[in-house]
Amino acid sequence: MDAIPLTDGDQTWFYGLDSGGMTLHLWTAEKVEDLLSGGAAALRETYFGELVLSPEDLKRLHSGAVARIRARWMPETHQPVEAERALRRMLAGEETRGELIAWADELHAKRGSLAEQAVRATGPAAHHLTLLGDMAEAMAMQLRAIGEFLLKGDHVGLEQEINRPQSVSSEHRAATRALRSSRHPTALLAADLIADARDAQRLVAALREDITARLAVVLADAGCGKTHLAAQLTTEDGARPAGVPAVRRRPVCRQKP
């Protein structure tokens, strides 16, 4: 398509814009084509796709970056520590979603067992079991919803869901104590459910804190595994593509003859 300059009226409008102290230049497509060459070619390629990195490109770059430490880095025997788990929560990795779903399944299973007992129970016990079951199911639904928002990358929905109050109240603890006092067969199951719900709460609280972090710094002495941690974190992980760790060569000290 030929470059069509602005009409006289359009040029008057253009130069009359409030530029905030900047100088306005009116270029045609041909002028822009000439300017996006030489050193500006990288800018052009970046905006128009030629430098866009595909998952395959990132995987190749990751392999090249970790080649220097491949002999001493064995991902098959890697054991995550708390620092890595916190970093993966910040990255909303597959492990975090898996942990959320695992807790949701556990709470849902215990809720099912309590519901079966509630059908056969009478008096206050039936009310206590129903109360605990409803709490477990509501918490399980929240954990699944958080996992779905993480998977979709829906940060608005995630923020709303993760800040929605969901807790073990004094009423739930009182129901558990009542079941234990009456020596009801489900007393141990109810106590186990309360413990699981509290652990799930702690997971949500840690996730809420970690996903809002904008910068993470890992400090440790030499030889503690920071390089291996970087290589492990940047490895391709399900829906998340690989990253490129900055792996430096170790300095070699040679004794002068």
3 state SS for the chain: CCCCCCCHHHHHHHHCCCCCCCCCCCCCHHHHHHHCCHHHHHHHHHHCCCCCCCHHHHHHHHHHHHHHHCCCCCHHHCCCCHHHHHHHHHHCCHHHHHHHHHHHHHHHHHHHHHHHHHHHCCCHHHHHHHHHHHHHHHHHHHHHHHHHHHHHCCHHHHHHHHCCCCCCCHHHHHHHHHHHHCCCCCHHHHHHHHHHHHHHHHHHHHHHHHCCCCCCCCCCCCCCCHHHHHHHHCCCECCECCCCCCCCCCCCCCCCC
Average pLDDT value for residue range 71-88: 83
Mean of pLDDT values over 133-161: 88
Q: What is the mean predicted confidence (pLDDT) over 8-30?
A: 81
Q: What is the pLDDT of residues 64-74, one digit of tens each?
A: 888 888 888 88
pLDDT one-digit tens code per residue, 34-45: 776 766 666 666
pLDDT bin (cut points 50, 70, 90) of residue 141 is: very high
Flag whether pLDDT at 252 surpasses 60.
no
Q: What is the pLDDT of residue 224?
A: 85
Q: How many CA atoms lie within 13 A of 172 on its CB side?
A: 19
Percent of the chain with pLDDT over 70: 85
Mean pLDDT, rounded, for 28-55: 68
**More confident: 121 or 133:** 133
pLDDT digit string, tens, across residues 189-213: 999 999 999 999 998 988 888 888 8
Mean pLDDT of 228-243: 82
What pLDDT does 145 receive?
A: 92
Tell me, what's the pLDDT at 1?
42
* Mean pLDDT of the region 114-143: 90
**pLDDT confidence of residue 51:** 59
Average pLDDT score over residue span 37-55? 66
For the chain, the structural domain boundaries read 55-81+219-233, 83-210
